[in-house]
Structure 1
Amino acid sequence: MITGASSGLGAALARHYAGPDCLLILWARDPARLEAVAADCRRAGAAVEIRSLDLVDSAAAIATINEEDAAGAIDIAVLAAGLGDIQSMAERAEDPARVVSLGLVNFVTPSAMAAALAGRMAARGQGRIILIGSAAAFHALPFAAAYAGSKAGLARFAQALRIGVAPHGVQIMLASPGPIDTPAGRAVPAPAWLTMQPADVAARIARASAQGRFHLTLPWPFALLRVIDRLLPDRLRNALLAGLRPASPPAQPAGWRDGAGPG
């Protein structure tokens, strides 16, 4: 099962896992784009079911994932749907409604879905859940406070859930990618050498999960930046982070959601 499967990293993950003897359950908001990805996966030999659902509705998402798993045990769940945002220079603080949306889509709903599914997997003694976070989770980005904060919450939740369900045979992995070459990812200024291709990121995430890893940060410079961030004096760190703000954030593309987040 993959959420955010209509574009970006979510679509790349769907295509990566597609193959004979595989049933893919693909979720996203846009049924037309989702069906196009499903068609690619069917051509690769997979059986595909699609669901159009917005993760702002947490209760519906929880009920649906329970129904999906009851209909047929889910072996691997990849919760890739996400919502990104960059605060404009004209804004002194983020719009409260936007903070709510990012909190629901990036943290509250995927965490609740992971908890629901982890409980069901624990009852049968096996299963894997991959939560797609972001390298931004480990940095206090003043121009993307709600995005970084929501992904930070997801990261801590993933760690706690992993510890709790590991004795029951359930594997939880957090993936924290940096910039990805998607329409939404290109809205965030980043050096070309740090920007990854969705298919490559999908393959690396799938491989890390199969190897039983708990956390994957990519590309590797972001793991180093995480260490540097912790070591810097507060005043210097704050100045550096404030200097990263784009002078004029580009308009957010239509694919800003559904697995196409900026990383």
Structure 2
Amino acid sequence: MNSPPLSDADSTACRNVLIVGASGEIGAAIAIDYAKRGARLCLWGRDPVRLLKTIEACIAAGADAVSSRLLDIEDVAAACQAIVADDAATPFDCAVFAAGLGDVKGAGQVIEAADQVARLGIVNFVAPAAMASALGEEMAMRQAGRIVLIGSAAAFHALPFAAGYAGSKAGLARFADALRIGLKPHGVSVTMVSPGFVDTAAARRVPGPKPGILSPEVAANSIVAAAEEGVVHLVVPRTFVILRLLDRMLPRAMRDRLLRALAPQER
């Protein structure tokens, strides 16, 4: 179901790896997975306590070297300047953009609040897209590199209770595909990752069933393997590939009723 590896992807293993969002649970798990492979890591995060824990875990897991940067990517201009500066100091073989926010409409709300939609748009789409563009330009000049963008299977569905989240991830998915096409002739691969439910604190706060839920460690292992192989689009678990097809095939009225029925029950 997943796209095959790119035939012209750089075959050199990722040694110098940037993880944006390393203070989050998925980003930390990806960082630790790379650490076990002996990579040199540059870890970005916005939570100093959790970022320090990730650094310590990566050192213990066998990372060749670990540097870090404390930064909130909501300041998009500063994030783009920082990524170019860090890449100039130690050129990255691979960059994983794992920072993101997940949310649903609040109790009593018809739709999400405007400020919430704006923040989700910046963190989930605008910032990672801008940073990937800035780094992609540098990688293209070297004719080598890998970019991994972490989206969500929610991007496949018009979720009325999480329009800002689903919409921002859908924008990132379309951007990733366009970026991939643009960078492929320059030796740079782009992998889009669309995970379903991952067992994080944020996911546990959302009520309702979570079919096929993955641990952060299992999700991270799949993501790192996809990056190493130059996979175009990774969807995990595979159940969400089927759900994506169903969303496309169902009559609009039936699909709309189904999506409304999926809304978490207010407490």
- Considering the TM-score relative to the shorter chain, is it more than 0.5? yes
**Deviation of 1:20 (Å):** 6.8
Query: Contact conserved, 2:148 with 2:191, CA < 8 A, in 1?
Result: yes
Q: CA deviation at 1:117?
A: 0.6
2:44 corresponds, among 27, 33, 39, to 27
Instruction: Confirm or deny that 1:129 pairs with 2:129.
Output: no
Match of 2:80 in 1: 62
One-letter identity of the residue aligned with 2:231:
R
> How many Å separate the matches in 2 of 1:190 and 1:224?
20
For the residues of structure 2 that align with 1:189 and 1:195, how far apart are their CA atoms?
A: 13
Q: 1:100 aligns with which of 107, 118, 122?
A: 118
Cα distance in 2 between the residues matched to 1:190 and 1:164 = 39
Aligned to 1:157: 175
Task: Say if 2:14 is the partner of 1:11.
Answer: no
Correspondence for 2:203? 185
- Note the alpha carbon deviations across 1:220-252, whole angstroms, 9 max, x for none: 110000001001111110010001110127xxx
Letter paired with 1:231:
M
Question: Which residue, 243, 258, 266 being the options, matches 1:225?
Answer: 243
Residue in 2 that maps onto 1:197: 215
Which piece of structure 1 moves more, 44-53 or 210-219? 44-53
Q: Hey, what's the Cα distance between the residues in 2 that align with 1:117 and 1:195?
A: 32
Any idea what the Cα deviations from partners look like across 1:15-69, whole Å, max 9, x if unmatched? Answer: 0000475211111111111011100111122211111111111001000001001
Matching of residue 73 in structure 1 with residue 91 in structure 2: yes
Identical columns (%): 52
**Structure 1 runs (4+) greater than 3 angstroms displaced:** 189-193
One-letter identity of the residue aligned with 1:9: I
Q: Per the alignment, do residues 247 and 20 of structure 1 end up closer, same or farther by CA in structure 2, a change over 3 Å counting?
A: closer
Q: CA deviation at 1:191?
A: 3.8
For 1:63 and 1:194, the matched residues in 2 are separated by: 38
> Which letter does structure 2 place at the counterpart of 1:86?
V
- Structure 2, unpaired ranges of 5+: 1-17
Quote the offset at 1:183 in angstroms.
0.7
Note if contact 2:197-2:211 (Cα within 8 Å) is conserved in structure 1. Answer: no
The partner residue of 1:43 within 60, 74, 78 is 60
Instruction: Measure, in 2, the Cα distance between the counterparts of 1:75 and 1:191.
Output: 38
For 1:189 and 1:196, how far apart are their aligned partners in 2?
A: 16
- Contact kept, 8 Å, 1:137 with 1:149, in 2: the verdict is yes
TM-score under structure 2 normalisation? 0.90
Read off the aligned partner of 1:26 and give its amino acid letter. Answer: L
Identify the residue that residue 160 of structure 2 maps to in structure 1: 142
Question: Distance between the aligned counterparts of 1:10 and 1:185, measured in 2?
Answer: 15
Partner of 1:168: 186
Q: Does the C-alpha gap of structure 1 residues 190 and 196 become closer, same or farther in structure 2, counting only changes over 3 Å?
A: farther
Give CA deviations for 1:60-103 in whole Å, capped at 9, x if unaligned. Answer: 10000010011110111000000111102411222111111000
Contact 2:197–2:210, Cα closer than 8 Å, also in 1 = no
